[in-house]
């Protein structure tokens, strides 16, 4: 009876019903209309399905029934159902985006209940970059046929630009200026546009690949069937090359981490690196730049005050 009264009050105050299922669907439509990246849309959909599943177990059908305690119990439920800390944090972030959007969309007074729930902590684990020796082994498996030329050029571009895998797959031939090495990444994370660059060896590899092609497809990277290569196709390619090289396959994102770490080691300043990688702030970049013990040893050997004092 109390629940029915609460629901009726919500409808009266807003002039709208607050059926959660309706608003979750409306939110995803809005995100799609905002041209969110496909990966972001997938994450939103997956995490909100987890939220909806939990709400079903609690007989929660309306947004007005959600309070901070419900959200906290959901986070505990995610942990108990074997979701890792990163996944739980992503789920919390997704629900926060949805609730802020709903509050704004329906002109709700005050702040959404999730504003009283702290984000779950994520352990700052060291994420390994692709080993450059392993990359060289991968490249050695590439022959001079069209497939080999493509795979070699792709892996070099992935390492040379620090591009995300999805960004690499979305490149068109017209996005490259092979004379200067400039690359326009038009479909960055969050729809952001940025410029990356290619070294001379990478440009040479791309020219060889393009010269061997006989099609008119505008996409830079093509699958065996002549269509644009997908993220899945790129991942399968690296796994296949790793098997041929007799090594454990590196993840696609580890190429991006290798780019960041090698640029740092070469003395590139973090602000330029932030722009090259398309990060909104340095906080995200810090996860890529977790240096290994040998880097820290070299830094200490170079700057040790005791060693410097000895030389004076």
Residue 41, exposed/middle/buried by CB under 10 A (0-12, 13-18, 19+)?
middle
Catalytic residue among 31, 47, 203, 256: 256
pTM: 0.65
Note the pLDDT of residue 91: 95
Residue 166, exposed/middle/buried by CB under 10 A (0-12, 13-18, 19+)?
middle
Q: What is the mean pLDDT of the chain?
A: 85
Q: In what order do the strands lie in the sheet with 182-185?
A: 176-177, 182-185, 194-197
The class level of CATH for 2-116 reads: mainly alpha
Q: Is 121 a catalytic residue?
A: no
pLDDT digits (tens, 9 = 90+) for 154-207: 999 999 998 989 899 999 999 999 999 999 988 666 567 788 889 999 999 999
The H or E element spanning position 195 is: strand 194-197
Residue 272, exposed/middle/buried by CB under 10 A (0-12, 13-18, 19+)?
exposed
> Quick check: 8 pLDDT over 60?
no
CATH architecture for the domain at 132-299: Orthogonal Bundle (1.10)
In the chain, CATH 1.10.443.10 covers 132-299
Alpha helices in 20-131 (DSSP H): 20-33, 38-57, 68-80, 85-105
Q: Is 253 a catalytic residue?
A: yes
Catalytic residue among 31, 150, 189, 203: 189
Q: Is 256 a catalytic residue?
A: yes
Which comes out higher in pLDDT, residue 124 or 152? Answer: 152
Out of 125-134, 141-150, 246-255, 274-283, which region has the weakest mean confidence (pLDDT)? Answer: 274-283
C-alpha to C-alpha distance for 124 and 120, rounded to whole angstroms: 13
Q: Is 271 a catalytic residue?
A: no
Q: Is 302 a catalytic residue?
A: no
In the chain, CATH 1.10.150.130 covers 2-116
Note the pLDDT of residue 67: 96
* Orientation of helix 252-265 relative to helix 231-245, angle to 10°: 80
pLDDT digits (tens, 9 = 90+) for 203-223: 999 999 999 999 999 999 999
Catalytic residue among 164, 187, 241, 249: 164
Which comes out higher in pLDDT, residue 298 or 278? Answer: 278
> Quick check: 31 pLDDT over 70?
yes
Q: Is 249 a catalytic residue?
A: no
User: CB neighbours of 181 closer than 8 A, spacing ≥ 6?
Assistant: 197, 198, 199, 200, 202, 203
Question: What is each CA distance from 220 to 10, 201, 277, in whole angstroms?
Answer: 53, 17, 20
């Amino acid at each position: 009876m109390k629940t029915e009264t609460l629901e009726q009050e919500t409808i009266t105050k807003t002039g709208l019903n607050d059926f959660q299922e309706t608003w979750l669907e409306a939110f995803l439509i809005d995100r799609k209309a905002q041209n969110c990246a496909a990966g972001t849309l997938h994450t939103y959909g997956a995490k909100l399905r987890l939220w909806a599943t939990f709400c079903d177990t609690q007989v929660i059908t309306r947004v007005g029934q959600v309070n901070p305690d419900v959200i906290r119990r959901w986070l505990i439920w995610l942990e108990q159902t074997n979701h890792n800390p990163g996944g739980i944090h992503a789920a919390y972030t997704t629900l926060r985006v949805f609730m802020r959007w709903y509050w704004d969309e329906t002109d709700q007074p005050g702040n959404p209940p999730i504003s009283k729930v702290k984000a779950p902590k994520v352990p700052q684990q060291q994420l390994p970059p692709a080993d450059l020796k392993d990359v060289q082994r991968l490249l050695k498996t590439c022959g001079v046929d069209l497939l080999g030329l493509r795979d070699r050029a792709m892996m070099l571009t992935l390492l040379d630009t620090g591009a995300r895998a999805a960004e690499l797959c979305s490149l068109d031939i017209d996005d490259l200026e092979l004379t200067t090495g400039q690359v326009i990444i038009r479909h960055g994370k969050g729809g952001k546009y940025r410029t990356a660059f290619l070294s001379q060896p990478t440009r040479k590899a791309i020219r060889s690949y393009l010269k061997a092609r006989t099609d008119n497809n505008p996409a830079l990277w093509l699958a065996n069937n002549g269509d644009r290569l997908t993220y899945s196709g790129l991942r399968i390619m690296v796994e296949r090359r790793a098997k041929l090289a007799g090594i454990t396959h590196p993840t696609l994102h580890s190429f991006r981490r290798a780019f960041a770490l090698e640029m740092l080691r070469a003395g590139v300043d973090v602000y330029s690196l932030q722009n090259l990688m398309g990060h909104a702030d340095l906080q995200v970049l810090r996860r890529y730049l977790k240096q290994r013990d040998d880097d820290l040893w070299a830094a200490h050997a170079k700057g040790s005050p005791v060693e410097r004092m000895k030389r004076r």
